[in-house]
Amino acid sequence: MDAEIEQVYLDRGIQGVRPRFAYPLIRLAHTGPLTIRELAKSLDRSHSAISQTIAAMRKEGLVTSEPGPDARTRRIDLTERGRSLVPFLEAEWRATHETVAELDSEVPYAMTAVVAEVRQALLRRSMRQRILHHLVEPPR
């Protein structure tokens, strides 16, 4: 699905933007500069995941980072390019949510419910733990 969303961006002439950038860009547009920790908390994502996303967004010229209130933090803000994409990204975000609702009505189980249940199952026992349980290493 992400590849298809990215294709929507490319069809609109938007290069270097991945679907995982949309929510952080939208949040920054509405809140103003945030530290990576603040942004991660506001998006309910891990610090590591947002840090990696910010690095990729900075590489594409979508955000800037400046020293924060102490030496350990950096404040992230939108560049003009990042800010200019927000209206389209908000429209795409709404369209994607409508698409998910449409898909939910077409299948016998709600995709959103399945994702929530999978998330809960992985909180009980991580993907790594599950893989290690089933991993049978070949004899040496």
What CATH number is attached to the domain comprising 6? 1.10.10.10
Residue 120, in any domain of the structure: no
Report percent pLDDT > 70 for the chain: 99
43 close to 24: Cβ distance less than 8 angstroms = yes
Report percent pLDDT > 90 for the chain: 69
Number of domains the chain contains:
1
The token pair at 89 is: 């990204």
CA distance 76 to 54: 8
47 contacts: CB under 8 Å, gap ≥ 6: 36, 37, 40
> What's the domain range around 83?
2-106
Residue 6, in any domain of the structure: yes
> Which residue would you say has higher pLDDT here, 14 or 131?
14
21 close to 76: Cβ distance less than 8 angstroms = no
Residue 122, in any domain of the structure: no
pLDDT in tens, 15-56: 999 999 999 999 999 999 999 999 999 999 999 999 999 999
Residue 138, in any domain of the structure: no
> pTM, whole model, 2 decimals?
0.80
Residue 135, in any domain of the structure: no
Residue 137 has pLDDT above 90, yes or no: no
7 phi and psi angles, rounded to 5 deg: -65, -35
